[in-house]
Each structure stands twice: as structure tokens, then as C-alpha cells.
């Protein structure tokens, strides 16, 4: 687990995130710093912006591998909670609904998704009203997949905000390069050679979501075999836990960049 954490944090540095070079750090137990205590208090009070800032300060101070792992997790949790909340921050804006607006039109205008607008504004329906205020994302999301480590890094405005454990292709069959999300499907049907596997079938290996690349036959999807995550076992696609792929599905729009590295 410590090896994985070091790799992830090094990935944060290489890919433009806020991680730390900790290869020279010792795995000594560390007492809680004042920043960490304040961060935990802010997080418990749902003040996620303050919590994230304090966790990041603690990240700079800590020498303990296990503590760094927990802090990184809390920073990522804070990132997602901020994005999926009505809180306006540096990568969002307040939008006033016009009489002829619908969510899909607003999403297209800002290059975001209907799912993200609904989550960020606690909407249970896609019905909106004139003069209604909505939080809308304004920063670009992108994805980097490290196929040798079976990790997917979600980036926003060039900064890594969350890391997911994934499965990639056996025998290095996941293609390396730069791609774009060309299509997105909820509850996809799997067109297996010689058969059509419906979405609700336990044999449908695509899980609950499909995000296809602009290269035929490859994409990011869910799974019916979560125990295989972290391994190179697929036919070339990137496989995620269903709850993770559903989260990612709502965050990244069609056209989002996907970079796959070895």
C-alpha cells in the first residue's frame, strides 16, 4: 500500500497536481498537527473549501506515509464535494436561467454536463424556471490513465483532483496516446460477438456507464467484476467501479481529452 501511495503522489507531481516528492521521507508515526485538527473540524462542518486548504498545508508538513495517504483521500473527497455542491469557487460561475433555457442547452454553452449541473444544484428533475440561479462549471476536465499502475487521474484546469483504481487491458492491449470522449451511454448494451447482452444482465461487462473514445472499440466503462480492479485483465478498455464511472460520467463532457500513458 505504501508503494502505491508513493506512486500516486509522484504521479501528482508529474501530471501537474499538488502531490509531494516523498521518496526520501520516513514512515514514522506523526502526531496530529494543528492544521490537521482544524481541517478535520472544517470537514465535519461541511466547510470543504477551508478543509481542503488546511489539508493541503498538512500535506506539506507531514513526514508520515500513512498519514499522507489519509490526507490525500480527504483532499480528493473535499474536491468532489465542492464540485457537487452549490458553492461557487474558482472553476464555476452563477448562471441566471433565461425563459427559453433547458439544461442540455446550458450544459452545451459551458461545455459541461447535465448531470453535473443537476448534482451541483441538488436538482431532482431537469425542469428549470426563468430567473432560477444555477451553479455551472467553467473549467475543463480531462483524464490521464496510467496503464502500468492501473490508475486513472481526473484533472480539472490542469490539476489532479481525484485518483481512481481501474483495470486496463491484458498484455498491454489498452492503447497509448491522446484520445477524446466521442460518445456517452447510460446503461449500455454490450454487443458481444454473436450475442447482444442487455444492460441488466450480470454477463454485461460494461457495467452502468460507457464513455467511448474516438478510436473504435475502446473506452471507459463500469464493471460487474469489481474484484478485478487494479489488474490488467480487460480486452483493452479502461474498467472502473460502477459508482466511480457514474461519478466520472457526470463530470466529463463529450470531447474531453483522455491521455493514456505506460
Write down the H helix ranges in 62-144. Answer: 65-83, 103-109, 114-120
Asked about 91 being catalytic, the answer comes back as no
C-alpha 158/C-alpha 89 separation (Å) is: 16
User: Residue holding cell 459508482?
Assistant: 243
User: Residue holding cell 500500500?
Assistant: 1
Of 124, 149, 120, which Cα lies nearest the Cα of 135?
120
Q: Is 177 helix (H, G, I), strand (E, B) or coil?
A: strand
The gap from C-alpha 55 to its chain's centroid, in whole angstroms, comes to 19
Asked about 237 being catalytic, the answer comes back as yes
Supply 113's cell numbers.
454536463
Active site residues: 221, 237
Amino acid at each position: 500500500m505504501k508503494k502505491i501511495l508513493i506512486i500516486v503522489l509522484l504521479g501528482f507531481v508529474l501530471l501537474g497536481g499538488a502531490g509531494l516528492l516523498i521518496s526520501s521521507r520516513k514512515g514514522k508515526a506523526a502526531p496530529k498537527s494543528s492544521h490537521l485538527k482544524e481541517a478535520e473540524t472544517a470537514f465535519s462542518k461541511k466547510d470543504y473549501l477551508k478543509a481542503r486548504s488546511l489539508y493541503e498545508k498538512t500535506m506539506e508538513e507531514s513526514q508520515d506515509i500513512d498519514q499522507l495517504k489519509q490526507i490525500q483521500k480527504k483532499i480528493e473527497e473535499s474536491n468532489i464535494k465542492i464540485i457537487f455542491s452549490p458553492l461557487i469557487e474558482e472553476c464555476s460561475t452563477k448562471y441566471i436561467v433565461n425563459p427559453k433555457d433547458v439544461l442540455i442547452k446550458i450544459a452545451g454553452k459551458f461545455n459541461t454536463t447535465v448531470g453535473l449541473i443537476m448534482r451541483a444544484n441538488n436538482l431532482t428533475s431537469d425542469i428549470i424556471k426563468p430567473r432560477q440561479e444555477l451553479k455551472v462549471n467553467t473549467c475543463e476536465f480531462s483524464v490521464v490513465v496510467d496503464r502500468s499502475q492501473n490508475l486513472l487521474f481526473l484533472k480539472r484546469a490542469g490539476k489532479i483532483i481525484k485518483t481512481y483504481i481501474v483495470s486496463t487491458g491484458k498484455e498491454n492491449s489498452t492503447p497509448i496516446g491522446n484520445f477524446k470522449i466521442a460518445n456517452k451511454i447510460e446503461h449500455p448494451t454490450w454487443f458481444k460477438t454473436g450475442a447482444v447482452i442487455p444492460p441488466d444482465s450480470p454477463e454485461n461487462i460494461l457495467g452502468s456507464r460507457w464513455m467511448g473514445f474516438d478510436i473504435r472499440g475502446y473506452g471507459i466503462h463500469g464493471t460487474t467484476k469489481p474484484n478485478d480492479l487494479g489488474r490488467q485483465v480487460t480486452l483493452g478498455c479502461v474498467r472502473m467501479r460502477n459508482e466511480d464511472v457514474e461519478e466520472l460520467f457526470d463530470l466529463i463532457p463529450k470531447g474531453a481529452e483522455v491521455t493514456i500513458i505506460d
